[in-house]
Amino acid sequence: MIDLVGQRARTASHEIRQSTGETRKQALLRMAESIAGTGSALLEANASDLDQAESEGISGALVDRLRLTEARVAGMAAGLRSVASLPDPVGRETGGWALYNGVRLHRVRVPLGVVAVIYEARPNVTADAAGLCIGSGNAVILRGSSYALRSNQAITHVLREALTGVGLPADGVQLLEDTTREAARALMQATQWVDLLVPRGGPGLIEAVRADATVPTVIDGAGNCHVYVDAGADLDKALAIVVNAKVQRPGVCNAAETLLVHEAVADRFVVEAAKALIAEGVELRGDQRSKDLVPDMVPATDSDWATEFLDLVLAVRVVPDLETAIEHVRHYGTGHTEAIVTEDRAAADRFVAAVDTAVVAVNVSTRFTDGEEFGFGAEIGNSTQKLHVRGPMGLESLTSERYVLYGDGQVR
């Protein structure tokens, strides 16, 4: 089964790789138009998925992610149009030089080939992922959740029609309709066919991919993000950043999970921040020093520092100095996003240099680590590994560079 799908994807990838950027742009625009135009059919398919999920007693949060609405359908179309408007990374020359013997070397950005995406019951990911993969000249194999099967089939049908409409092979977008664990595992091990696997899901999926995948992967891992408020911070900026990073959308990976405060500003800042955060419904879990300042806090345990709450919960620690903050971040951070608030340039430089994370934010909310915010149009994931790409993954992250040599008969 996976060999059949893989072979089709590989064959399609050869055609798509050689298509022009204009053709791929037209494909994306046609996808957007078709998604928007067949919205009612998509909503019907989605209603069947929702009925079944509810009859199986599935929880509210999953059903909410699974649900398509007119606004979400419009969002999928808008996402595809947005990707269509981005510069084409394919074919861009990223370097070129002559070897000692006159051979001319060109380094050129090319598509990866076949990208596989394994994701949960969010049908909008079907369109987002397909759009980014086609936009970057790749074929994609989508493996969604069984709960979203009818929705994904309906969306994929539309996307495939759009491909053939511009003369590209329909198999550029394939849905793996076998939603068993065995099929997912076969996809994770299809080294002959899959050039990149992006898992989009919770810790269970990431662990399964780490354990079972033999194809190259980019891990879209946890975001245990910190905001460190330095002795040199502008405390008004710090307050705005901390509240935004925690409460604006607590369920996402770029939300802050721990607040670190330099003791020089702790007396004032911990009290002010606690007041603002508690007013927003945040539960605070503090170390002893923080609890002394704000007795309402729950005592923080060791595991709190390591937890991505993804909820209105924030761990709070007062640190004696910048170096202790850096040590804390190094120990508990997950390589996603770390923020420092300070007007002290030397402190900012030290933090930026010492903290090895995909994104370091100076006087900015952690919430900006996002493909759209960065100007990538959309993102296929957010890498917390260091290989290939770190942080938000846009079109360029679905390409890599190869070499073309031109000579006149040179030999060694």
Instruction: Please list every residue from 113 through 152 that binds its own copies, using CB under 8 A.
Output: 113
Residue 266 region by backbone torsions, left for phi larger than 0, else alpha for psi between -120 and 50, else beta: alpha
Return the residue of 28, 32, 319, 364 that touches its own copies, per CB under 8 A. 364
Minimum CB–partner distance for residue 186 and its own copies (Å): 15
Chain positions 223 to 282 lying near its own copies, rule: CB under 8 A, are 234, 236-237, 240-241, 243-245, 248
Tell me if 4 contacts its own copies by CB under 8 A: no
Residues across the chain: 412
Q: Are strands 114-119 and 173-175 parallel, antiparallel or unpaired?
A: unpaired
Neighbours of 143 (CB within 10 A): 23
Per the CB < 8 A criterion, the answer to whether 42 and 145 are in contact is: no
In this complex, which beta carbon is closest to its own copies, that of residue 20 or of residue 180? 20
d(CA 63, CA 68): 10
Q: Are strands 139-143 and 114-119 parallel, antiparallel or unpaired?
A: parallel
Tell me if 171 contacts its own copies by CB under 8 A: no
In this complex, which beta carbon is closest to its own copies, that of residue 113 or of residue 144? 113
In this complex, which beta carbon is closest to its own copies, that of residue 289 or of residue 388? 388
* Upper half-sphere CA count for residue 12 (Cβ side, 13 Å): 28
Chain positions 46 to 105 lying near its own copies, rule: CB under 8 A, are 97, 99-100, 103, 105
In this complex, which beta carbon is closest to its own copies, that of residue 52 or of residue 248? 248
Chain positions 315 to 354 lying near its own copies, rule: CB under 8 A, are 330, 352-354
Q: Which stretch binds its own copies (CB under 8 A): 28-36, 82-90, 110-118, 127-135?
A: 110-118
d(CA 148, CA 120): 8
Tell me if 405 contacts its own copies by CB under 8 A: yes
> What is the distance in angstroms between the CA of the first residue and the CA of the last residue of the chain?
45
d(CA 78, CA 97): 40
Minimum CB–partner distance for residue 199 and its own copies (Å): 13
Minimum CB–partner distance for residue 273 and its own copies (Å): 14
Tell me if 357 contacts its own copies by CB under 8 A: yes
Tell me if 289 contacts its own copies by CB under 8 A: no
Return the residue of 14, 48, 268, 288 that touches its own copies, per CB under 8 A. 14
With helix as H, strand as E and coil as C, how does 280-308 read?
CCCEEEECHHHHHHCCCCEECCHHHHCCC
In this complex, which beta carbon is closest to its own copies, that of residue 146 or of residue 189? 189
In this complex, which beta carbon is closest to its own copies, that of residue 77 or of residue 364? 364
Per the CB < 8 A criterion, the answer to whether 154 and 98 are in contact is: no
Minimum CB–partner distance for residue 359 and its own copies (Å): 5
